[in-house]
Structure 1
Amino acid sequence: CPDGWVGFRGVCYFLSEERRSWDQGRARCSELGAPLAVLRDEEMEFLVPILCKKDHWLGLRRRGEQLQWEDGSSFNSSFPVHGNAECVFLAEDHLGCEICSTPFRYICSKPQTRL
C-alpha cells in the first residue's frame, strides 16, 4: 500500500486526520485515486480499533429508505445503524447517520496493486 495507508485482505485504506464534510471527503479520496470506503463486516471489525474512537465517514448513504454503498451495492451488515440522517459514519461499535455537512474524518479504500 502507499505510504500512510493500511492494508487488509488485498485492500488499502486511507484514514484521514483532517475533518471534512461527506462530499469533501469523497472529493479528497478521488484525488487520491480511491472512493470513500465500501466495507464488509470483517473490514469494519479490522478498522474499528485503528480508528481510536474517532468517527469516520464511509462511502455509504441513504437513498430513500435504503442504505447504499457508493459502488452501488446494497448495505447488508450486522453492524447496528443509529439515526436516520443521510450520510453514514463508522463509530466504535456501530454505524451512525449524520447530516452530510458535518465535518468528520473519512476513510478511502482502493485495491492493493501488485508491484
Structure 2
Amino acid sequence: MGGHNGSFTSGAEAGPGEAMAELGGGSSPGKRFRSHPVGTAVLILLLLVLVLALGAALAVLAAPQIPVTPATPLLVLGCPFDWVGYRGFCFYLSRDYGTWEQAQERCSELNASLAIVKDEDSMGLLFRLCGNVNFWLGLHRQGEHLQWVDNSSYSFRDRVHGDSECVYLADRRLMTGNCANEQLYICSKAQAPL
C-alpha cells in the first residue's frame, strides 16, 4: 500500500478502505480512484454519440432552406445549383449572351424557357437581381398584344417601353428591342421535387 502517487489502481491493489473511497464511501484526500474499463468505454461512446448528434444538428441548421409552396405541402421542392428559387419557380441568370431565339434554345437545353413571370413580387425580384444589366425575358409581341412564351397574356401594371417584338429587363424597366440583338437572358421553370 506504499505511497500514493495519483495513479489509478486495479481492484487487486486497493485495500478495503480504498475500495470504499472508490465506491463513494469516503471523501478524504489522498484516496485513490479506480478506473472501470466498461464505465470508461460507455462514457466515451456516449460522448461520441453526443458530438455526432451535435454535428448533424449544426449541418441541418447550416443547410440552405428551400421554400415549399402551400400548393404542395407534402413535397420538398428545389432548384438546381446556381438558380434562384422564388414562389414555386426557379430563375437562372445567364452568363453568356444570345439573341432572343438563341436564349430560348439555351433555356430549353436546361429544361426551362425564357423567363415567364406570374406575379408582381417575382417581377420585383428579377428587377433587384438584374440591377442595371439587360436580360431577355420570355415575353414578346404577338400583333398588338404582349405574350409570354407559354402563350399566356402579359397582365402587369408595369408598362413595356418600345414597339419592338422582344422584351428585356433594363434598369428596372421593361423594354422592347430587336430580337437579333445579343444580350444576357433569364430562364425559368417550376421548382421540382428533390
1:36/1:70 contact within 8 Å kept? yes
Identity in percent: 45
Q: Structure 1 residue 9 and structure 2 residue 94: aligned?
A: no
**TM-superposed deviation, 1:42:** 1.5
Opposite residue 43 of structure 1, the aligned amino acid is S
Instruction: Classify the secondary structure of the residue corresponding to 1:23.
Output: helix
Opposite residue 184 of structure 2, the aligned amino acid is R
Q: Structure 1 residue 55 and structure 2 residue 55: aligned?
A: no
Distance across 2 between alignment mates of 1:24 and 1:113 = 25
1:58/1:106 contact within 8 Å kept? yes
Residue in structure 1 matched with residue 123 of structure 2 by the alignment: 44
**TM-superposed deviation, 1:93:** 2.1
TM-score, L = length of structure 1: 0.96
Give the paired residue count: 115
Alignment of 1:1-115 (within 5 A): 1-39=79-117, 40-115=119-194
1:13/1:37 contact within 8 Å kept? yes
Name the larger-Rg structure: 2
**TM-superposed deviation, 1:49:** 1.2
Stretches (4+) displaced over 6 A: none
TM-score, L = length of structure 2: 0.58
Distance across 2 between alignment mates of 1:109 and 1:64 = 24
Distance across 1 between alignment mates of 2:193 and 2:80 = 12
Which structure carries more strand by proportion?
1
1:79/1:93 contact within 8 Å kept? no
Distance across 2 between alignment mates of 1:42 and 1:92 = 17
Distance across 2 between alignment mates of 1:12 and 1:62 = 24
1:20/1:105 contact within 8 Å kept? yes
- Unmatched segments (≥5 aa) in structure 1: none
**TM-superposed deviation, 1:70:** 0.7
Distance across 1 between alignment mates of 2:90 and 2:161 = 27
Which structure carries more helix by proportion?
2
- Unmatched segments (≥5 aa) in structure 2: 1-78
